Amino acid sequence: MPKTSVPEDIPGAAGAICLPSCEDLSDELIDEELTTVLPSRELVRRLAESGVAGAQELLREEEKRGGRLAERLASLRERLRRQITRQTHRVLDEYRSRELALDARFVQRRTTLSGELSDLDRARARARALDPRDLLLDSALFGAVRQALILPDEAFRSASEPERRSLWARIVAFFRALFARLARLFRRGSKAPAPPRTGPKGRTLALGRISELGRVLTPDSAEALVGSLSEAQRAALARSAERALEKTRAETDAAMKQLAPEQRRAQEALRTEAQMARERAERRMDEEVRQGVEARLRSELAERGLVRERSGQLAVTYGLVERFARLVLEDESKSLPDDLRMSLQGAASTGLYEKGRLRQSDEIARLDLVSSLVESRLRGSRHLDEQSSYVYREVRAESLHAVLLLDTSGSMSEGGKLAAAKKAFLALYMAIHRRYPDATIDVATFDNEVRVRDLVSLWEASPGAFTNTGEALHVAHSLLAGSRASRKELYLLTDGLPEAYSAEDGRVLSGQLDRAEAYALSRARELRRVSPLASTIVLLRSNDPAYERAARELARALGGSLVLTDPGRLAFELLVRFVGGRVEERIPREAASLARPREATPAGPQPIDNARARRKARRAARAAGG
């Protein structure tokens, strides 16, 4: 890395400063980031609703549109292909090395067998004469001779057997041996007798003795042993050794002939294996490139704090759900009247600010950039996110404590009610935080049991069993009773009757609707004693009049209001109630004949939705003389 020259007239500067050169820095981290090109709002929405699979689908859709993202994906895929190609070349190089080693072994084996054949031919020529001195020079001949001595064939055994003598010759030989023995007895102390005479053909060694000597035979002693054999034994031994050499040569020649076909088969098998490896690599290239792009996308999403690993899988983060909640609030706010939409922005400024972490996107204008950058670097991140951002937040005198209760019983899984309810609660959560940044918001879901949740667990909540409304109100009482907030609000969203209740021993019982409803009403009257409290019960419409009747009794016991609505209007209704607006309850025509005449809501004005509805109400009032 080149050093930048420094003027010597600066004290302490000569040769002390070394600035890095940026020429060799790779632009990969800048040019190939994918999430910076994707539409941020749609990315957050897809991640929240469909997880990483939704982000991957968005990536494919945006790639089809072309532009910078398509160029970056093409560059990333090309780089991944080069990496995979290099890996494939390394594998194929290994196969080529194995093929070269196989050829070298073939040449070496062929040379060895050729040498063995030449040695065997020379040994066969020497075996015919069987000169004892050749045993020291020719190892192949010595091996054949030794094998013939240890395992003699029929010809050698016949040559080594003693000749059959007549009866008279055997009697003469017996008496000769007897007289010789007697002579030795009378001539003790005399010289040792002469060695026995050889037979008519000069045999001196028996077959058993020859076999024993052959087992310990060495090239040095082989010459003496072969030299002591008779002519007949030597000739028979020569023929035996020659036949053994011929057999060995035939086997070696057969191995030589089989060497080339075996080499071809081994080469074909190796080439077939290499071809299959190449084809597998080509088939896997697209899959590995796809996996590489997906891994890159997951890595960037994790780096930006949108997903995190949990139990070996990627899950949404609080920052992602909070961003998604802001998007839902923004979308739902568009349908509000102008005055209500403006009221969501908050009250007049107090002029008092305190430093704290970023909670909502509207606070970004008061960002403390220095503290945020320092925190981001300490976290090792290249992006500013909610966890590393500090802002100056306005201090307000009024405080709010809100409790949001969501019914997650089994019936909420029908018709997309639970998904719409969770989005509505996210929008309400962010609306409260936007208007009251220091508000305390408790979110709880209830089926048989009640669970206090954060935004992430709320978004991941799944349907359960029965509806224990009374226990949910009891938990809300425990949360609000000790609160010091100047304003307390309760929002309960359900789609049916109280179906379960909690016994004194803690067990959750179901199947007795009258006792479950009585338990819920008693808990509602207990919660009503918390002051000041504004409560709102939101009931999803049903064709069963008993649902509305039970909800109205519960609202009356709480001293609050009741909202009847559909899943598509949940967020709208909650936001209007939060800012104190007026909306109109709409009943489908087909359900109007089934609905009972509505009782007056104990608290809160009757809702009117828009200007047309207000005009109709004024005409009706004038017709009535108002």
pLDDT digits (tens, 9 = 90+) for 251-310: 888 888 888 888 888 888 888 888 888 887 777 777 777 788 888 888 889 888 889 888
Do you find a cis peptide bond into 532, omega within 30 degrees of 0? yes
Distances (CA, A) of 23 to 6, 20, 32, 72: 20, 9, 18, 21
CB contact set of 125 (below 8 Å; sequence gap of 6+): none
Where b means 16+ CB within 10 Å and e means fewer, 579-590 reads bebbbebeeeee
In the numeric block, the tokens 């970004």 are attached to 364
Residue 72 CB coordination number (10 Å): 18
Q: Which of 173-182, 199-208, 516-525 has the lowest mean pLDDT?
A: 199-208
481 three-class SS: helix
Distance CA 140, CA 116 (A): 9
- Domains recognised in the chain with CATH numbers: 60-162+205-284 (no CATH), 318-329+399-623 (3.40.50.410)
DSSP string, 328-362: HHHHHHTTS-HHHHHHTT-S---S-EEEEE--SGG
Q: What pLDDT shows up at residue 312? A: 80
Measured distance between the N- and C-terminal CA atoms of the chain, rounded to whole angstroms: 89
Cα distance between residue 479 and residue 473, in whole Å: 10
Q: Is 501 helix (H, G, I), strand (E, B) or coil?
A: strand
Higher-confidence residue of 564 and 16: namely 564
- Select the highest-mean-pLDDT range: 95-109, 442-456, 580-594: 442-456
Residue 203, both tokens: 């045999």
Whole-angstrom Cα distance, residue 275 to residue 108? 27
Q: Which residue has the higher pLDDT, 363 or 320?
A: 320
What local confidence, expressed as pLDDT, does residue 547 receive?
92
CA 127, 130, 134, 135 torsion: positive or negative?
positive
pLDDT band at residue 381 using 50, 70 and 90 as cut-offs: confident
Lowest mean pLDDT among 177-181, 587-591, 620-624: 587-591
- Lowest mean pLDDT segment, chosen from 195-204, 356-365, 466-475, 505-514: 195-204
Cβ(193)–Cβ(181) below 8 Å = no
Tell me how many helices (H) and strands (E) the chain has: 21, 12
Per the structure block, which two tokens stand in for 419? Answer: 């998904």
| Closest to 407 measured CA to CA, from 567, 197, 579, 604 | 567
pLDDT reading at 570 higher than 70: yes
Q: What is the pLDDT of residues 455-476, one digit of tens each?
A: 999 999 999 889 999 999 999 9
Nearest in space to 219 (alpha carbons), one of 167, 145, 291: 145
Q: Looking at residue 352, what is its pLDDT?
A: 64
**pLDDT value, residue 194:** 44
In angstroms, rounded to a whole number, what is the distance separating the alpha carbons of residues 27 and 32? 8
Residue whose token pair is 């590489």: 292
Q: What is the DSSP letter of 382?
A: S
Residues 6 or more apart whose CB falls under 8 angstroms from that of 299 comprise: none
Q: Which residues contact 146 (CB under 8 A, 6 or more apart)?
A: 214, 217, 222
More confident residue, 7 or 141: 141
Tell me, what amino acid is at 351? G
Instruction: For residue 480, name the pLDDT band (cuts at 50, 70, 90).
Output: very high
- What is the value of pTM for the model shown? 0.58
How many whole angstroms separate alpha carbon 117 and alpha carbon 527? 108
Q: What are phi and psi of 506, to 5 degrees?
A: 95, -10
* pLDDT greater than 50 at residue 598: no
> How do 440-446 and 450-453 pair as beta strands?
antiparallel
Angle at 466 between CA 460 and CA 468, to 5 degrees: 90
Q: Is the distance from CB of 413 to CB of 406 less than 8 angstroms?
A: no
Q: Model confidence at 44, in pLDDT bands (50, 70, 90)?
A: very high
Cα distances (Å, whole numbers) of residue 588 to 565, 591, 614: 10, 5, 19
